[in-house]
Structure 1
Amino acid sequence: MLAVFEKAIGKPPEELKLPKMGLENMKSRQEIAEIFRSLWPESTVYNLPNGNFMAMSHENESPLQPRSNMVKDDIFCIFHGILVNTPDLRRHYGLSRQATEAMIVVEAYKVLRDRAPYPPDQIIKDLEGKFAFIIFDATSGRLFLARDREGRVELEWGMASDGSLVCSNDPNLIREACGKSCAPFPPGFRNAMTGCIFMNGSGLLSFDHPLHRVRAIVREDDNGDICGVIFQVDLYTRLPSIPRTGSAANWAVWADAAVAESEQRS
Structure 2
Amino acid sequence: MLAVFEKSIGKPPAELNLPSTGSKKSKSRQEIAEIFQILWPETILCNISNGNFMGLSHENESPLHPRSLVVMDDIFCMFIGTLENICELKRHYGLSRQATEAMVLIEAYKVLRDRAPYPPDQVVKDLQGKFAFILFDAKSHTLFAARDCDGGVDLNWGIAGDGSLICSNDSNLMKEACGISCASFPPGCMFMNGTGLMSFVHPLHKVRAIVHEDDGRQIRGVSFQVDLYTRLPSIPRSGSAANWADATAVEAE
| Cα deviations by residue, 1:203-223 (Å, 9 ceiling, x for unpaired) | 001112111100000001111
The structure-2 alpha-carbon separation of the partners of 1:34 and 1:228, relative to structure 1 and needing over 3 Å to count, comes to: same
The answer to whether the 8 A contact 2:146-2:191 is kept is yes
- For residues 203 and 137 of structure 1, what CA distance do their matches in structure 2 show? 16
Whether 2:167 is the aligned partner of 1:198: answer no
How far has the Cα of 1:70 moved from its partner?
0.7
The structure-2 alpha-carbon separation of the partners of 1:161 and 1:11, relative to structure 1 and needing over 3 Å to count, comes to: same
- For residues 243 and 167 of structure 1, what CA distance do their matches in structure 2 show? 24
Quick one: percent identity of the two aligned structures? Answer: 72
Describe the SS at the equivalent of 1:24.
coil
Question: 2:150 aligns to what?
Answer: 150
Question: 1:128 aligns to what?
Answer: 128
The answer to whether the 8 A contact 1:132-1:155 is kept is yes
Instruction: Give the TM-score normalised by structure 2.
Output: 0.93
How far has the Cα of 1:252 moved from its partner?
3.5
Which residue of 203, 214, 229 corresponds with 1:236?
Answer: 229
The answer to whether the 8 A contact 2:44-2:56 is kept is yes
Give the partner amino acid of 2:4: V
Question: 1:215 aligns to what?
Answer: 208
- For residues 64 and 34 of structure 2, what CA distance do their matches in structure 1 show? 28
The answer to whether the 8 A contact 2:237-2:249 is kept is no
Describe the SS at the equivalent of 1:214.
strand
The answer to whether the 8 A contact 1:78-1:135 is kept is yes
| Cα deviations by residue, 1:64-122 (Å, 9 ceiling, x for unpaired) | 00001111000001101111111101111111111111111111111111123321112
- For residues 243 and 87 of structure 2, what CA distance do their matches in structure 1 show? 27
- For residues 138 and 252 of structure 1, what CA distance do their matches in structure 2 show? 12
The answer to whether the 8 A contact 1:27-1:177 is kept is yes
The structure-2 alpha-carbon separation of the partners of 1:20 and 1:117, relative to structure 1 and needing over 3 Å to count, comes to: same
| Cα deviations by residue, 1:7-65 (Å, 9 ceiling, x for unpaired) | 01001111011113784251000000000111112211111111000000000000000
Off by >2 Å, runs of 4+ in structure 1: 20-23, 241-254
The structure-2 alpha-carbon separation of the partners of 1:66 and 1:22, relative to structure 1 and needing over 3 Å to count, comes to: farther
Instruction: Give the TM-score normalised by structure 1.
Output: 0.89
| Cα deviations by residue, 1:111-146 (Å, 9 ceiling, x for unpaired) | 111123321112111000000000010000001111
Question: 2:89 aligns to what?
Answer: 89
- For residues 175 and 243 of structure 1, what CA distance do their matches in structure 2 show? 33
Question: 1:168 aligns to what?
Answer: 168
Gaps of 5+ in 2: none
The structure-2 alpha-carbon separation of the partners of 1:224 and 1:202, relative to structure 1 and needing over 3 Å to count, comes to: same
Describe the SS at the equivalent of 1:26.
coil
- For residues 253 and 38 of structure 1, what CA distance do their matches in structure 2 show? 37
Describe the SS at the equivalent of 1:209.
coil
Which of the two has greater helix per residue? 1
The answer to whether the 8 A contact 1:112-1:250 is kept is no
The answer to whether the 8 A contact 1:117-1:251 is kept is no
Question: 1:262 aligns to what?
Answer: none
Describe the SS at the equivalent of 1:59.
coil
Question: 1:224 aligns to what?
Answer: 217
How far has the Cα of 1:248 moved from its partner?
7.9
Gaps of 5+ in 1: 188-194, 259-266
The structure-2 alpha-carbon separation of the partners of 1:186 and 1:32, relative to structure 1 and needing over 3 Å to count, comes to: same
Give the partner amino acid of 1:35: I
- RMSD, matched Cα: 1.9
The answer to whether the 8 A contact 1:156-1:185 is kept is yes
